[in-house]
Amino acid sequence: MGVPVTQAPVREVTERETARFRAAGWVRLPGLVGPEFVTDLRERALERLDERPGGFRNALVDRAFGQDRDIARHDPAFAALALSPVLARNATRLLTGVDAVRLQVTNLLVKEPVADGGGGHGATAFHQDFPWMPMDRASMLTVWLALDDVPADMGALRFYEGSHRYGPLGRSFVREDDDALSRHPWLETLEPSEPFDLAAGDATVHHSLVVHGAPANRRDRPRLSFTATYFDAATLYTGAPYGQTDGLGLTVNEPFDHPRFPVVPTS
Ligand SMILES: O=C(O)CCC(=O)C(=O)O
C-alpha cells in the first residue's frame, strides 16, 4: 500500500456528463479516480478478500455478487474516496435540485467468474435500487468504480436508458426468476445500453430508479468494484423496515441525522 491516504484524486463531472445522467439515468465517467490511488484500493480490496474467505450466501442477490458492505468504515483509503468533497460535489451536480448529499453505504463488490461445472456468480438481475429504501424520495445515486479493468464480458453494468423516469417499479431479488424485465416487459421498448469495457479508475453512476443489471463474469478472474451511494441530505426517513436502518433510532419524517449517514462536505 504505497500511497499515503490523504485526499482521493477524483475529477469533476462535466456539464455534458451531467446532462447525459439526467437524460439517461446513468453516465459513464472515464478516469474518475487517479490510477495510483485505484491500484492502492485494489491491493487493499484483495487483502480484505484474502482475510475473508467463505462461500456465497444463499439470498438471491448473493448469487449475483459478493459484498463487503461498509468497507469505508473499515479502511481509510476507501473512506477518503467515499468522503471526497469532489465526489460529493459531483453527486449534488448530477441529482436535480439537491444542495447536499449524505453517504448511504459503501460496498466492495466481487463477481466471481462462472466456473465449469457450476459455481461462481451468475448475472445480476435487472432491478432498481430505490424500492427497498426507507426514504421519502428517490434522489439517490450510486458511483460504481472499476478497481481493475472490467471488460464487458466480465460483467460491467447495463442500463435501460431513461427508465428512471417511470418511478418505482417494484422490488427485485424477492422471487426466483423474477426481475424488472419479466414484471415489466414494456421496458424492452427502451434502449438497453451497449456493452462497454471499463478500465481501472473508470466509473459508471446510476440513479436509484434506473433499471440496471449485469451479465455473468465470463473471464477467469473476479470482477472487482467499489460502490458509494449518496442521497439528498434533505430526505426524510419513512420508517419502512430495512436492515441497515432498523434499530438506529431514526425518527419517522425527520432527516437521517445519524453518524451512519454523514453529510459529505463539498469543499
Ligand atoms: O455490480 C453489480 O453487478 C450490481 C451492482 C448494483 O446493482 C448496484 O450497485 O446498484
Please state the domain extents for the chain.
15-232
Q: What is the pLDDT of residue 56?
A: 43
- 15-232 is classed in which CATH architecture? Sandwich (2.60)
Cβ-count burial of 228 within 10 angstroms (0-12 exposed, 13-18 middle, 19+ buried)? buried
Per-residue pLDDT of the chain (267 residues; tens, 9 = 90+): 444 567 899 999 999 999 999 999 999 999 999 999 999 999 999 998 888 655 445 466 777 778 888 999 999 999 999 999 999 999 999 999 999 999 999 999 999 898 776 778 888 999 999 999 999 999 999 999 999 999 999 999 999 999 999 999 998 877 777 788 889 999 999 989 999 999 999 999 999 999 999 999 999 999 999 999 999 999 999 999 999 999 999 999 999 999 999 999 999
How many residues would you count in the chain? 267
**Residues forming beta bridges with residue 159, ordered by sequence position:** 212
- Ligand 1: distance of its center to the CA of 213 in Å? 7
Cα 230 from chain centre: 9
Distance CA 248, CA 244 (A): 8
> Is there an atom of ligand 1 within 6 Å of 148 CB?
no
Q: For ligand 1, atom 10, which residue shows the shortest CA distance?
A: 129
**Residues forming beta bridges with residue 255, ordered by sequence position:** 236
Best substitution site from 212, 223, 230 to test ligand 1's pocket, by max atoms within 8 Å of Cβ? 212
Q: How many CB atoms neighbour CB 118 within 10 A?
A: 6
Q: Where are the beta strands (DSSP E) in the chain?
A: 26-29, 66-69, 101-111, 124-127, 140-146, 158-159, 203-207, 212-214, 223-232
Q: How far is CA 163 from CA 141, 181, 184, 188, 225, in A?
A: 14, 11, 11, 10, 23
